[in-house]
Structure 1
Amino acid sequence: MRQGRVVYGGAIHGCTPAAGGGVRLADGRVVAEEAVQWLPPIEPRTIFTLALNYADHATELAAKSSKEQGSFLQAQRSEPIVFLKAANALIGHRGLTRRPAEAEFMHYECELVVVIGREARNVRKEDALAYVGGYTVGNDYAIRNFLEPYYRPNLRVKNRDGCTAMGPWFVPAAEVPDPQALRLTTHVNGQLVQEGSSADMIHDVASLIEFLSGIMTLSPGDVIYTGTPKGSVDVRPGDEVVCEVEGVGRLVNTLMADWTPAPL
C-alpha cells in the first residue's frame, strides 16, 4: 500500500491514495490533495545523493563545462560519486522552492529515490534489492553557476532549505519489480523538458547498495537519490515543475522568488 504524510487541521497524518482522487487520512477521512500540506513520505535518517549517474546527463554537462570535467566523468564511471544531503533541504509534494537571487542557471533533477528497508552491511550486488523497502520520486535542484568551479556538488548547491522535493508516496518495493526499467519525465508549465530511463544509470540500484553498504551500515529509512537523465532547463519563479517516475508517482513543485531578511 502506498503511504504518504501530510499536515491537515494542524496535525500530521499518515495517508493513502483515495479511490476517485484525494487522500485518505489514517482516521478514515478523505480530503482533497490541495487541502493538505504534503510532507516527504518518510523522515530519512541519512540522505545519499548521486552526482552524474546517467551517461547522457554527464555528457550534457561536460559539453557546457571546462576540460577538467572530462577526468571527473571518467572517475564517475569507475566509482559512484556520492555526497550527503541534510534534512533541511527536503520539502514535500506541492511545496515551494526558492530560487536564490544570485542564481544564474537553476534546474530540476527528476530522480528515482530508493528507500532502504532493513539494515545492510557488506551486501553483495546480487542480494541488494532484497534490502530495498520501497521507492519514491525526488526533484533535486541544482544551481549550475555555483557547481561549475568545483566539479562536484557543494553546500551552496545541494543543501539549501527546501531545494530537494520528495514524494508524494512511499511505494513498496513489491510494486516496482524492476527499478532499472522505469521512464522518468519532467514537465515545466506543461511542456516536456526531460525524458529518460532508469536503464541508463551508470551505477544501478543494486550496485549503489553494494557500494554504500561496503563503506557504512545502511539503516531502515536511509534514502538514495539515484541521479537524473539529461534535459537541463533553467527554471524561474512561478514555474510549475512536475517530475514523474513510471509506476512510482508524480511530484509537483513550484519555484518562488528569493526573500530578503528583514533588518534586526
Structure 2
Amino acid sequence: MKLVRYGKRGDETPGILDDEGRIRDLSGHVDDIAGCVLEPAGLAKLAKINPAKLPLAPEGQRLGAPVAGAGKILCIGLNYKMHASETGAEVPSEPLLFQKAVSAINGPYDDIVIPRTSTKTDWEVELGVVIGAPAKYVSEEEALSHVAGYLILNDVSERDFQKNRAGQFTKGKSCDTFCPIGPWLVTADEIADPQNLTLRTLVNGEVRQNGHSSDMLHPVAKLISYLSQFMSLLPGDIIASGTPDGVGAGMKPPQFLKAGDEIVMSIDGLGEQRARLVADR
C-alpha cells in the first residue's frame, strides 16, 4: 500500500493510492496515518479495503507528510562508506546517532525555508524507516518485522550551524521545514529488501547523489536493533538511515543551496519529492 495525507498543512486527510495512482479518501476508516493505524493489526485492516470503492480525493490537493504524530526522528550520521570518505571523517565503530526535531517535518512538495543567517544549507537524500510494531531490545533477525513502511526523507542540514555553532548536530538539522518526507509511506511488504535501493538527488536538474543502500555501514535491521537497546521505538517514529555521497559539503569546492534552487529526490519504489528553496523573511 501507498499511504498519503493530503490537504492544508495541519488539517490533512488520510488517503491511499489506487491502482491508477489516484488518491482515495481513507477518512471513513481511519482518523489519520498515525499510532495504532501503523501497527501490524492496523495495516492489516487497511489492506482489506478496496481503494477503488473509496471516494476520490479532489484534484490538485497538496500532499502533506504521509505520517502524522511522529514522536521522534532518529538520524544516523556517516552511515554510507562513500559519504564518510567524501567528508574525510573517521568511520564510526557504532551507529552515530543524533535527533532531528519533529517540528522540522515538511510535505514532499512544500518549500524549504533557508534560515536567515544560513550560509551552508545542504541536501541529504535518505531512506526513512517508519516504525509500526513497538520495538525494545529486538534482535536484528526480528527487527524488520517492526517496520510499518519506508519513505523518502531529505535530511536538510545547515553545515555551519551543525559543525561550528557548538554542541551537537541538532541545531543544524532541526530548522523549520528541514525534514521533507514522502510523497508516500510505502508499506514494508512492497519493499523486498531495504538494502537494494537506489537513492538519487538532482539539484537544478544536475545529478548530485546517485547512491545505493547496499553501501550502508549499518543496514536497516541493525539500526532498528541497535536503537532499541537504548530506547523504545514506537509507532510513527522515523529512522533516517543516512545519506550516500554527493552532498554539497563534499564537493570541491563545497556548494550549498540558495533561494530559487530546486531539489528533486527519488528512491526506488518510494516515488519522488520535489522542493523549491526560499529565503526566510
TM-score range relative to shorter protein: 0.7 to 0.9
- Secondary structure of the residue aligned to 1:39 is coil
Q: Paired residue for 1:23?
A: 23
Cα gap change, 1:58/1:171 in structure 2, threshold over 3 Å: closer, same or farther? same
Task: Tell me which residue corresponds to 2:259.
Answer: 237
The letter of the residue matching 1:230 is: D
Which string of whole-angstrom CA distances, capped at 9 and with x for unpartnered residues, describes residues 144-203 of structure 1?
Answer: 122233798533301111111001101010100100000000011222111100000111
Matched, 1:225 2:251: no
Indicate the residue corresponding to 1:5 in structure 2: 5
Q: Is the 8 Å Cα contact of residues 113 and 135 (structure 1) preserved in structure 2? A: yes
TM-score after normalising by structure 1: 0.86
Native 8 Å contact 1:100 1:258 kept in 2: yes
Equivalenced residues, count: 246
- The 1:18–1:151 alpha-carbon spacing in structure 2 relative to 1, beyond 3 Å, is farther
- 2:185 counterpart of 1:170: yes
> Given the superposition, is the C-alpha separation of residues 10 and 154 from structure 1 closer, same or farther in structure 2, using an over 3 Å criterion?
closer
Q: Could you tell me how far apart the structure 1 residues matched to 2:126 and 2:260 are?
A: 22
Q: Is the 8 A contact 1:115 1:223 kept in 2?
A: yes
Q: 2:61 aligns with which of 36, 42, 48?
A: 36
> Does the 8 Å CA contact 1:96/1:162 hold for their aligned counterparts?
yes
SS in 2 for 1:3: strand
What RMSD over aligned residues (CA atoms) do the two structures have, in Å? Answer: 2.1
Aligned residue for 1:168, secondary structure, equals coil
Give per-residue Cα distances to partners, 1:5-46, cap 9 Å, x unaligned.
0116995211223555553333612444xx222221112122
Runs of at least 5 residues in structure 2 that lack an aligned partner in the other structure: 27-53, 249-255
Q: For the structure 1 residues 176 and 258, does the alpha-carbon distance in structure 2 shift closer, same or farther, using more than 3 Å as the test?
A: same
The equivalent residue for 1:54 is: 80
**Amino acid of the structure 1 residue aligned with 2:234:** S
**Residue 251 of structure 1: aligned partner:** 273
Gaps of 5+ in 1: 63-69, 260-264
Q: Which of the two has greater strand per residue?
A: 1
Counterparts of 2:170 and 2:217, CA distance in 1: 24
Q: Given residue 36 of structure 1, which amino acid in structure 2 is its aligned partner?
A: Q
The two structures have a TM-score, normalised by structure 2, of 0.81
Q: Could you tell me whether the CA contact under 8 Å between 1:138 and 1:164 is conserved in 2?
A: yes
Amino acid at match of 1:130: S
Conservation of the 8 A alpha-carbon contact between 2:3 and 2:186: yes
CA contact (8 A) 2:155 2:178 kept: yes
Q: One-letter code of the match for 2:56?
A: R
User: How far is 1:222 from its partner?
Assistant: 1.1
CA contact (8 A) 1:22 1:31 kept: no
Question: Does structure 2 retain, via aligned residues, the 8 Å contact 1:51–1:153?
Answer: no
Q: Quick one: percent identity of the two aligned structures?
A: 36
Amino acid at match of 2:272: R
Q: State the shift of 1:139 in Å.
A: 0.5
How do 1:205-224 and structure 2 match up within 5 A?
Answer: 205-224=220-239
